[in-house]
Structure 1
Amino acid sequence: MVRCHKKVPNSSDGSPLMSIDWKSYDANGFYDELITARGKPRPAGSVLAKYLGSLSDQEINERKLAAEHAIIEMGISFTVYTEGGNIDRAWPFDIIPRIIARSEWDPVDRGLRQRLTALNLFIDDIYNEQRIVRDKVFPAEVLAQSKNFREQCRDFHPVHGVWAHICGSDLVRDADGRIYVLEDNLRVPSGVSYMLENRQVTKRVFPELFENYRIQPVDEYPAQLFDMLASLSPRPLDYPEVVVLTPGIYNSAYFEHAYLAQGMGAELVEGSDLLVADDDCVYMRTIEGLERVDVIYRRIDDWFMDPEAFDPDSLLGVPGLMRAWRAGNVALVNAPGAGVADDKVVYAYVPEMIRYYLDEEPIIDNVPTYLCMDPKQCEYVLANLDQLVVKPANESGGYGMIVGPHATKAQRREFAELIRRDPRNYIAQPTLKISTAPTLCDGHVEPRHLDLRPFVLQGVRTNVTAGGLTRVALNKGSLVVNSSQGGGSKDTWIVDLGSGG
């Protein structure tokens, strides 16, 4: 265990207090976001490191307790599904923020804009002309076996040509310091509420640090989200009726649904609150009667959103919703069918999409990826399972995957059989030396692995959050950052080096 502490003057009872000694902090060969291999803080984090080093153990623990109390007071929670039922848990939060220099973030911002632009061009093409398939840039067999391609969306062009209005792309940093896109989330990307709440908690815990840093704000996101949604309204109104459609209180992301609806001043509705009338318009039931809805920010999967078009047994959706959407009488965000690009096999082709649609080189690289549907690549994957991370094409949340170096021989044999049985459903990637950041663990500061999920909004214009949701693997040595599997999160600061650095 890393115990990077040094003695500071005694406390009032005479016992020695401890503080962080960064010279003793060892990231074990990984790129650390705050401290270099020589034990010195990176330029953007120098003020933070100095400040943390001036605090005693007692003071750091007091800040940690203050954060825990704030999380309980603010009601920040997430739901874990168990065999015994659903459990609401307080949001696991680490008080030491992650810092990225603005100069380093700017190309990432440009790369994310480029990526979502290309992905939306791809989705629009796939549901219409399919030029990218005809030109043999994207394999027809990948599309033919796509679990998220929706025939119900063929021959349709949504407003602005945008299908995925909200994207959360997961980024990781390798040992060489380079940032890569690990995957894209375009169906119902979640987590932005925790990004916003992390900032509020950090302001309570370390208010003095906000005086010494010029930290790019994130709190304008709800307003940007509302403006993007309103821009899609089929009616030219100053204040269109925007609603957030949730599956209900038992959904794991219900906290976020309610949080965003409140932040936008929008109604939070369930499927039973809406109906599609004979005029193919969507109406909301209110105590004053029916009120027309212009834009629906849906947090329900395609398959359950309209029992007329998809699962006839669904009780979560609204019968006729697809009819209203195709008639141009309501905007759906993200659009049905956008999940065709939320596929880890499709992910492997995004660099080619950027070149094909934009005639540009990708600004942010993909993680090198092996497609098991290719016989030669599959042979390599099967021969090197002990060195690779293997993921199913359409799972999320860290489920259904195997981290080869940490798996048993029996687990690798089982996965090899799964791959042989359905090679289209699996991709493999090298086990990256994912970066770390100092994290408070059992009263000590230790390195923990992390990723970053920025959120990109695209409508008539594109906005990228300044940073995003940093998720951290709280278990020592783990690479799994998902909160449902033992992960937590940090506030993410994008700072100008002209201040605090």
Structure 2
Amino acid sequence: MLKNYQTGMFFDEMMNSDATPKAHYDWFYKLVEKFSDQELSEKHETAQLSFLRQGITFTVYNHEGQTERTMPFDFIPIIIPEEEWGRIETGMKQRMKALNLFLEDLYHDQKILEEGIIPRELVENNPYYYHKQIGGVDIPLDNHIFLSGVDLIRDEHGQYRVLEDNLRNPSGMSYVFQNRYVMRQVYPELFFNHDIRTLEHQISELHDTVMSHAPQKCEGDPVAVLLTPGSYNSAYYDHMFLAQQMGIELVEGRDLLVQNDVVYMKTIRGLKRVDIIYRRIDDDFLDPDAFRPDSALGVQGLLQAYKKGNVAILNGIGNGVADDKAMYVYVPDMIRFYLGEEPIIPNVETYFLSDPERLDYVLEHMEELVIKNVGASGGYDMLIGPQSTEEEREDFREKVLENPRQYIAQPTIKLSRAPAYQKGRMYPCHVDLRVFVMNGKEMNVLPGGLSRVALKEGSLVVNSSQGGGGKDTWILRSGGERDA
């Protein structure tokens, strides 16, 4: 299957340019070589059927409406040696510490703005900046980012780079656990013979992290809920899985009410006080009194309860100002300003289109660049220059000229690739890695994270909503093999 595999000009996670496997993949390569075409096909089918039977789905929205799909899964794992993972882990903790300090500063003293490190207008013109609503509010642990999902890529030299910070409602954590469950069915022998870091206690870590945010006014054991927009949301499976595994109630806005600035959950035994809300609803929809008056998803009076310190909301309100694609450019400066350190994992070079010189350059080189809407996610409102048509570039040119501040541009990174098995053959696909960081009284990085793969041959878009799929991610301890 891998005899004619071509790495080309890209860094390959598994294979060297001379068609030999990398050292930490050698044992897995030898195992795959032993399987017949039929056995590989059966393993592929086992994986897909497992997702189908468990109802592991997400919703795709397009011009034809919405479609429910199972998550495409590839059973060739991404394997990361423990030493390499240690650097990623340290880099993620550094980045999240700086971003949290930035949010705490922004909604209180604003030292970083006073010293001109970040342009004030970039913050004050940001649609996700909620200083009027929550400026000066003290929150449990001074922690705004309870859970983040940081997207990493590797360039053609194998250098990890941060592509995006997700600090509002990062999704996909449930797939990390389900990918591992499926892989244990596909390759049960590997988990006995090799020392792969386990995910066994990570749900307990997530639960403890949630509970560590109990407000000071909480009496007795804190009660936490997960607030979902409902079953029609694209990430509803994610909400349902995490609530169930943590043992907390999954609620919608209509299940909660606020009385005397205290939040209660409606139960068959009457009202029950709620201390912590892990929300999966965007800020704008949380409270119709404070944000969008037409919201039917939130809870009237919730912001006032939050400001009075009677309930914790995770992630914090107003986090969007820090994971905006324009603010991303300044994260290395935040690390230097707040921590006095150099970034361990660098950004991808990024151009602001509000700069007339940069704008002219980008418009002349659209076919070479990736252009993104600073407020969009999921692979939407994005132009990948090398894969675009002249008509698509012209359409995008008009949008950029109409509102250049809304867009940034980046060089087309030669994303690393890894083998994928689809339709009876192995071929190279581009991959990235979403790393989940939990932050409470202590910071914990989920070992491995969600490897996302662009299963459409030649595509650079890994988002599931755009045809991408997932892989299990293994952190291989030093030595790799267990003693028999």
Query: Normalising to structure 1: TM-score of the pair?
Result: 0.94
User: How many Å separate the matches in 2 of 1:349 and 1:246?
Assistant: 32
- Aligned equivalent of 1:394: 375
Deviation at 1:405, TM superposition (A): 1.0
Question: Is residue 2:453 matched to residue 1:468?
Answer: no
1:413 paired residue among 383, 389, 394? 394
- Aligned equivalent of 2:428: 447
User: How many Å separate the matches in 2 of 1:130 and 1:416?
Assistant: 36
Question: Is residue 2:233 matched to residue 1:251?
Answer: yes
Q: Is the 8 A contact 1:86 1:250 kept in 2?
A: no
Please, what is the CA RMSD of the aligned residues? 1.3
- Aligned equivalent of 1:12: none
Q: Deviations over 1:82-136 (max 9, x none)?
A: 4444322112100111111111110110000000110111111111111111101
- Aligned equivalent of 1:205: 186
Report 1:266-281 matches (<5 A): 266-278=248-260, 280-281=261-262
2:151 paired residue among 170, 174, 191? 170
Query: Normalising to structure 2: TM-score of the pair?
Result: 0.97
Which is worse superposed, 218-227 or 34-43? Answer: 218-227
Deviation at 1:192, TM superposition (A): 0.4
1:263 paired residue among 217, 232, 245? 245
- Aligned equivalent of 1:39: 19
Which is worse superposed, 80-89 or 345-354? Answer: 80-89
Report 1:356-435 matches (<5 A): 356-435=337-416
Deviation at 1:307, TM superposition (A): 0.5
Report 1:59-458 matches (<5 A): 59-150=39-130, 151-234=132-215, 235=217, 239-278=221-260, 280-458=261-439
Q: Kindly tell me the number of residue pairs found equivalent between the two proteins.
A: 480
- Aligned equivalent of 1:16: none
Deviation at 1:236, TM superposition (A): 5.4
User: How many Å separate the matches in 1 of 2:18 and 2:118?
Assistant: 46
Identity percentage over the alignment?
48
Aligned in 2, Cα 1:237/1:28: closer, same or farther, shift over 3 Å? farther
Q: Deviations over 1:371-405 (max 9, x none)?
A: 11122222221221111100010100000000111
Q: Is the 8 A contact 1:471 1:490 kept in 2?
A: yes
User: How many Å separate the matches in 2 of 1:494 and 1:238?
Assistant: 39
User: How many Å separate the matches in 2 of 1:204 and 1:318?
Assistant: 42
User: How many Å separate the matches in 2 of 1:355 and 1:452?
Assistant: 25
Q: Deviations over 1:17-71 (max 9, x none)?
A: xxx2x34211222111111111111111111111011100000011111112211
Q: Structure 2: 5+ residue runs without aligned partners?
A: none
User: How many Å separate the matches in 1 of 2:82 and 2:455?
Assistant: 26
Deviation at 1:420, TM superposition (A): 2.1
Aligned in 2, Cα 1:201/1:237: closer, same or farther, shift over 3 Å? farther
User: How many Å separate the matches in 1 of 2:108 and 2:403?
Assistant: 28
- Secondary structure of the 1:466 match is coil
Which is worse superposed, 232-241 or 368-377? Answer: 232-241
Q: Is the 8 A contact 2:196 2:480 kept in 1?
A: no
User: How many Å separate the matches in 2 of 1:39 and 1:370?
Assistant: 36
User: How many Å separate the matches in 2 of 1:407 and 1:63?
Assistant: 35
2:34 paired residue among 45, 50, 54? 54
Deviation at 1:500, TM superposition (A): 3.9
- Secondary structure of the 1:51 match is helix
Q: Structure 1: 5+ residue runs without aligned partners?
A: 1-19
Q: Is the 8 A contact 2:82 2:475 kept in 1?
A: yes
User: How many Å separate the matches in 1 of 2:219 and 2:204?
Assistant: 17
User: How many Å separate the matches in 1 of 2:302 and 2:59?
Assistant: 28
- Aligned equivalent of 1:11: none
